[in-house]
Amino acid sequence: MEYGPVIPVLRMFDIGKAREFYVGFLGGTVDWEHRFEPELPLYMQISLGRLKLHLSEHHGDASPGASVRIGVSDVVTLHAGLRARNYGFARPGIETKPWGFDEVTVADPFGNRLIFFAPTEGQAAHAAD
């Protein structure tokens, strides 16, 4: 059995804030948007490189306050890029965790947490554990 990519669905409540955070701050791109009718909730896909995230205004799609762990190749470079954007609602730091990972955690405007991680020096063999 081989599994495909995992695409988290995160709840959003404000399209402008979602774009400001996911496109402006994180540097993602909007791949597509869908509404069943013009006045109905939006469902859209954001890409950050190979990472795909689905954002939904639909009540039943997801609960706000989710956490998503996202492996990255270089936490230091990611951190520097985020700090350079001077986003007014987040100034993330880098935390070294005792289980062997460096992490940068950011919360979106809807209470969802994105935890970007990479193995601390010497822990690369355990990156997927």
| Single-letter amino acid code for the residue at 9 | V
Its pTM surpasses 0.85? yes
**pLDDT per position as a tens digit, 62-104:** 998 999 999 999 999 999 999 999 898 989 999 999 999 999 9
94 in a structural domain: yes
Q: For residue 90, which of 41, 16, 24, 30 has the smallest C-alpha distance? A: 24
Parent domain of 25: 9-126
Residue 3 located in a structural domain: no
**For the domain that residue 80 is a member of, what is the CATH number?**
3.10.180.10
Residue 1 lies inside a defined structural domain of this protein? no
**CB 30 within 8 Å of CB 45:** yes
Structural domains in the chain (count): 1
Is 71 in contact with 48 (CB distance < 8 Å)? Answer: no
Are 107 and 67 in contact, with CB atoms under 8 Å apart? no
